[in-house]
Structure 1
Amino acid sequence: MKRILMTGALGQIGTELALYLGDIYGRENILATNRSEKNIEAIEDIRFEKLDVTDGDRMYELVKEFKPDTIVNLAAILSARGEQIPQTTWKINVDGVINTLEIARQENLKVFVPSSIAAFGEGTPLDNTPQTTIQRPSTMYGVTKVSGEILCDYYFKRFGVDTRGVRYPGIISYKTLPGNGTTDYAVHIYYEAIKHKAYASYIAEGTQMDMLYMPDALKAVVDIMEADPSKLIHRNAFNITAMSLTPELLDESIKKYMPDFKLSYDIDPVRQAIAESWPNSLDDSCAREEWGWKPEYDLDKMTKDMLENLEKKLK
């Protein structure tokens, strides 16, 4: 990667990834796009243009003008919100990927498209979920992510488009709040710990989901995009993870630094059902073997960093 156009750049991952890529490749070589300008201040001095990813003509205009060698397509509606507006979720999450891939085909660009643990579902082994396994998601978000995985594989095999991607678990960050996902509780718990020393989890006790701290999520993008293509057997939708968490494990970790923290439960049946359809833990051995994936943060290291930074941010 040398010059990068990003879609969905003002979301939870995008705002931090834009700055991360800018620090590596130069901010003048990053074009951040999003369909709204909400949270635009988070990307500081990086160039921004409005873009709805379903508008392929507008995307192509920006590509011809900016001349990127890579498109990082983060534009998506997430799991919980996606159940409220499934048709719109399909349009943005799938049509946006097709537009990205078609432009990449025409202009010989590399493409990064992230998938998600939401791509798994009924019939998927819940523990140590393999790289290649049954994928029958029960949410529209999950359906669109499986579709994106297959489309990326198709464009690579049929047209030679250099597509790459990872399956993200829940992403935890202190900088930008997530946008209506099922794993968001793992971010909210830290915010509420600092603000109120208490949190009511909408996910039930004992519910396992894989998580990743944002610095590792960002590093994964660069690592896979810069990897030797001859070593990539799978190319797209690599399982990556750092930790399998439950609300009570987060509670225990927070209490090491805030002994008076109190965790309670107020279960959201919709998001709980979604969580129960997802894996408890992922097997990320393919990512480790093919491009050297290795997370730097475990639970306690992440908790310490989250609490220290949120203390500064919120007080």
Structure 2
Amino acid sequence: MSLRIDNVSKSYGDTTVLEPLSWTAEKGEILAVVGPSGSGKSTLLNLINLSVQPTTGTIHLDGEDLTALSRRRLRDARRKIGTAFQSAALFQRRTVSANVALPLEYLGVEKTQMAEQAASLIKRVGLAERADYYPGQLSGGQKQRVGIARALALNPHVLLADEITSGLDPATTTSILDLIKDLRDELELTVVLVTHEMDVVRAVADKVLYLEEGKVLEYDTATALLRNPLSHVGSQLLNWGQGADGFSSHVDSAGLLDVLYVSDRVPRTWVGDLTVRFNTDVELIEALVEPIRDQQFGRARIRIGDVEKIPAIKTHLAAEGIAVIRDGAE
């Protein structure tokens, strides 16, 4: 099962809000869609569930072209796509159970079966003891859990999550993201997650699509973007010092190198090893190792005493799996 977008665009008259784009999210993947306000993120979600028709292109779910379906068949196919909204969009006069059961109610599911399915979903999102509560009695994170449970009511293959952690405190955000990952694994969901928070991307994204002014500027796996810190997304994901801004904080950039590596593949003594191997002073100016996407990424800024040896040092570092991402002499 997969979700594939081929050459999809959206225009209103002479105004293009989303230029042609193509991407694929496989079963069990979380694709994060990021970008500034007005970049087309919400439009993309509306196109995926076909609440808005694309101007060009096709949308394939599990190999079926949704844009080619009749109205009746499309209605059935859209049940495979669930959506969780930023504000949870709950009905205040309905209990948690009644809110979760709403899609089943619209579908005409028998009451006993509907109650059983709702109870199962509520338990799955950790709110079994609050099934009879009303939204006004819930915290922001609990409301979001109800919204997620409702989005899963029709057993979708795809979950669209629109800014579901916006406005939540860090601890609650973490719990919601853990829930999304658990549901992804248990239900083998494809998740398309719209967010403006890079911490969210760092925590859960398998792939990242960066939009700006309706254009795709970057699209790749999260790991590939992390390995390219000069990319827009990579520099924000790493969030280390001045990153791609270079060595402007140093008056003399001669001999400076910025490097990136996956720390578990590189010996801790690599800086000292350079000193011994090349018989030159190597000063460690700045360094950081942090866990991202289940890997330990390290970044460091070093100064080489003998600048004539930098080409040989760069060749050696590359062979050791340490990428030089900025050379102060260049």
Normalising by structure 2, we get a TM-score of 0.28
Q: Which has the higher strand share?
A: 2
Instruction: Specify which structure has the higher proportion of helix.
Output: 1
Higher-Rg structure is 2
TM-score by length of 1: 0.29
